[in-house]
Amino acid sequence: MTFSKTETNKTYTQRINTIFTYIDENLENDLSLETIAKIACYSPYHFHRIFKVFTHEPLNSYINRKRIENAASLLYRNQQLSISDIYLQCGFNSAASFTKSFKKFYKNSPSKFRKVNPDKYSKIGQTADIKETYLRNLEQLLHWRDMNTTIAVKQVPELHFATLTQIGVQGLQNTFTNLMDWAGPKGLLVNPNFKMGTIFYDSFKVTSPDKVRMKACLLTDNSIPSEDEIEGVTFAAQECIVARFEIGMQEFEKAWTSIFMWMNENGHTKADYPPYEIYHNNFNEHPEKKCIVDMCIPIK
């Protein structure tokens, strides 16, 4: 996503970033336009227009989608939670409104979604053909994982990022370019510890690629204050599942799937911090156009 360098757009970006975080942390609470606009320090009418320009969808649609996607994640990742617990946790007032919204979005009721869309590597299907296909796919993925990475739990020190928000995969490269244009004059690109990365606030498993919220990021030695569109983000020191891959761009989804499988196999639980990638090369300079990347999942 690109913005003109006007002071107005810089202010909008800072406030929208604050709202993204607030919505993520308060899905079960009142997220009316009036509430959100007050936090953003705009009139409801003005904020609604700003938000739609930034995200390409109205505020209510964005909140509803985030609630439904969060419910979908809980449905297939936590079989112990009842559907009643899930709809209340995700901010729906009744089972009827939840089911109606969920079915409109995923074309299935929540109960049917849970049955037909479990984590595809956590439960074998009921028929012999499905079981055979599952086992074959699982075996291939595990073999691919073993051949391409070593996964370990590591104590990762506190990390500081300069970030720029991106909605959807289209235009991500431009966002990285804008981030580097900002970082260059500050000498950050010649830092011997220079690394780029991506932080993921949505899952491609439940969110459409054009709606996924990410942050293009640059590792910095120290925390930085937010400046214009740039937001300083700090991750506390914590345990993470870390896997290094040397893979083509088309293999990233497979790599992430294999890491989350490993997390489940080893009894770990994802922490509240989002997963992220740290890049160790420019894939365009790689002889096979491969990316050397650390994929990291913070865990509790």
Poorest-pLDDT segment among 31-40, 155-164, 288-297: 31-40
Who has greater pLDDT, 143 or 279? 279
- Rounded to whole angstroms, the Cα distance separating 191 from 60 reads 42
pLDDT in tens, 134-157: 456 767 888 888 899 989 999 999
Contact call for residues 98 and 141 (beta carbons, < 8 A) = no
Q: Report whether pLDDT(13) > 80.
A: no
Q: In the structure, what pLDDT confidence band is assigned to residue 76 with cuts at 50, 70 and 90? A: confident
**C-alpha 55: how far from its chain's center?**
15
Who has greater pLDDT, 51 or 280? 280
Closest among 46, 18, 17, 15 to 33, alpha carbons compared: 46
Query: What pLDDT, on a 0 to 100 scale, did the predictor assign at position 136?
Result: 66
Query: What pLDDT, on a 0 to 100 scale, did the predictor assign at position 195?
Result: 95
Average pLDDT over residues 276-295: 94
Neighbours of 234 (CB within 10 A): 12
Q: Report whether pLDDT(5) > 50.
A: no
Average pLDDT over residues 20-42: 91
Average pLDDT over residues 163-182: 94
Query: What pLDDT, on a 0 to 100 scale, did the predictor assign at position 207?
Result: 86
Average pLDDT over residues 169-182: 94
pLDDT in tens, 92-115: 999 999 999 999 998 889 998 888
Q: Report whether pLDDT(129) > 70.
A: no
Query: What pLDDT, on a 0 to 100 scale, did the predictor assign at position 223?
Result: 94
Q: In the structure, what pLDDT confidence band is assigned to residue 118 with cuts at 50, 70 and 90? A: low
Domains along the chain with CATH numbers: 7-116 (1.10.10.60), 151-298 (3.20.80.10)
Contact call for residues 244 and 149 (beta carbons, < 8 A) = yes
Q: What percent of the chain has pLDDT over 90?
A: 55
Q: Which single residue is written with the structure tokens 């020191």?
A: 237
- Rounded to whole angstroms, the Cα distance separating 213 from 208 reads 10
Q: In the structure, what pLDDT confidence band is assigned to residue 265 with cuts at 50, 70 and 90? A: confident
Query: What pLDDT, on a 0 to 100 scale, did the predictor assign at position 132?
Result: 56
Pairing between β-strand 291-298 and β-strand 276-279 as defined by DSSP bridges: antiparallel
Query: What pLDDT, on a 0 to 100 scale, did the predictor assign at position 123?
Result: 37
Query: What pLDDT, on a 0 to 100 scale, did the predictor assign at position 42?
Result: 80
Q: What percent of the chain has pLDDT over 70?
A: 88
pLDDT in tens, 195-226: 999 999 998 877 888 999 999 999 999 999 98
* Conformation bin of residue 41: beta by default, left when phi > 0, alpha when psi is -120 to 50: left
Angle value at C-alpha 24, between 175 and 162, nearest 5 degrees: 35
- Rounded to whole angstroms, the Cα distance separating 183 from 38 reads 32
Average per-residue pLDDT in the chain? 86
Q: Report whether pLDDT(8) > 80.
A: no
Q: In the structure, what pLDDT confidence band is assigned to residue 117 with cuts at 50, 70 and 90? A: low
Q: In the structure, what pLDDT confidence band is assigned to residue 78 with cuts at 50, 70 and 90? A: confident
